[in-house]
Amino acid sequence: MAMMVAQTVNMGSVLFYVFALIALVSAIGVVLSQNIVRTAVCLLFTLAGVAGLYLLLSAEFLAAVQLVVYAGGTLILIIFGVMLTSKSPFSRFQPRRVEVAIAIALGLVLLVMLIMGFDSAIHSRHFVQETSSQAQRYPMDKLGQVLLGDYLVPFEVVSVLLLTVMIGAAYLAKARRRERKGP
């Protein structure tokens, strides 16, 4: 990576390695763990690490949203599902070898694609490496204006999607009436 500006060792870079390490080790834990609740806990740390990385990129709102939606919502739902349905705290899953092989192959394909994409992005003309003194911090009101101004259509589409999801979930969770038997 000779094209990159020489990295100074400051708190930002140390924290990057800390958060990246947390996210990476937890992600490996998610994959390798066989107890589903431990998988969920490792996922929590992965998401927290990713939220930390968002914070380092000055995307504070995104970091908070990540914690609210993923760690405080999705994970709770997963654990709730596990608590309500699993027969013992130690139920394990054992994937078959074929599944593991296919998963590894797909993962390698994804890795190669990501590396190629990253490489071409760095070497392209449009890539601007922001040094620490130039990085902008986008104020929250600009985010709100952009979300309700330039990107209003995707915003409304997403809200309609969420409404559909809520209606579907409410319908699925509705208690069924018992059918009357006989006169």
Q: Which is nearer to another protein, 68 or 104 (CB)?
A: 68
Q: Which is nearer to another protein, 111 or 163 (CB)?
A: 163
Residues 42 and 27: their CA atoms lie apart, in Å, by 7
Residue 165 interacting with another protein (CB under 8 A): no
Stretch that binds another protein, among 23-31, 70-78, 160-168, 170-178 (CB under 8 A): 70-78
Residues binding another protein: number (CB under 8 A): 42
* Least distance to another protein, CB of residue 95, Å: 21
- 157 φ/ψ angles, rounded to the nearest 5 degrees: -65, -45
Residue 127 interacting with another protein (CB under 8 A): no
* Least distance to another protein, CB of residue 123, Å: 23
* Least distance to another protein, CB of residue 11, Å: 4
Residues 132 and 16: their CA atoms lie apart, in Å, by 14
* Secondary structure (H, E, C), the chain: CCCCCCCCCCHHHHHHHHHHHHHHHHHHHHHHCCEHHHHHHHHHHHHHHHHHHHHHCCCHHHHHHHHHHHHHHHHHHHHHHHHHHCCCCCCECCCCHHHHHHHHHHHHHHHHHHHHHHHHHHHCCCCCCCCCCCCCCCCHHHHHHHHHCCCHHHHHHHHHHHHHHHHHHHHHCCCCCCCCCCC
Amino acid at 133: S
Residue 153 interacting with another protein (CB under 8 A): no
Residue 161 interacting with another protein (CB under 8 A): no
Stretch that binds another protein, among 17-25, 37-45, 105-113, 159-167 (CB under 8 A): 37-45
Residue 12 interacting with another protein (CB under 8 A): yes
Residue 167 interacting with another protein (CB under 8 A): no
Residues that bind another protein (CB under 8 A): 9-12, 14-15, 35, 37-38, 41, 44, 48, 55-58, 60-61, 63-68, 71-73, 75-76, 79-80, 83-84, 89-90, 132-133, 135, 137, 139-141
